[in-house]
Chain A
Amino acid sequence: MKDGKVIYIGKGFIQGVPARDLSLDEWETLDKDTQKLALESGLYKLADKPKYEPIKVGE
């Protein structure tokens, strides 16, 4: 199972797409047009990727 998710931020829905947060696995089952529609409609947004700061070990 892949990390990350797609966050549901709307109150409406897209036909055939669960109106809730989606896992990346669920997201990838959607065709490209539906993914595009989901993001452009403002109903979903991609969760920010976790940021990793490099650890400086000695200098």
Chain B
Amino acid sequence: MIEIRLFASLREGREKVYKLEEAFSNGEEILDYFQIKSEDVAIFLINGMHSNLKNPIKDEDVIAIFPPIGGG
């Protein structure tokens, strides 16, 4: 099971958290599953670490996906 957390505008039309039994090999597959365009993703975390969409994902991983955001 992997946990996928969506934030900000990525929550529109979607839930905040998904716990899925499906196997995803990497971020690209997750984006595909949720119909999220890669240009709408600014930060992709695997277990809190910045990752790219090709980094491998394994069982029990926690994924967090953010669109472009700000700071202060």
Q: Is the pairing of A and B real? A: no
* Residues of chain A at the chain B interface (Cβ within 8 Å): none
* Residues of chain B at the chain A interface (Cβ within 8 Å): none
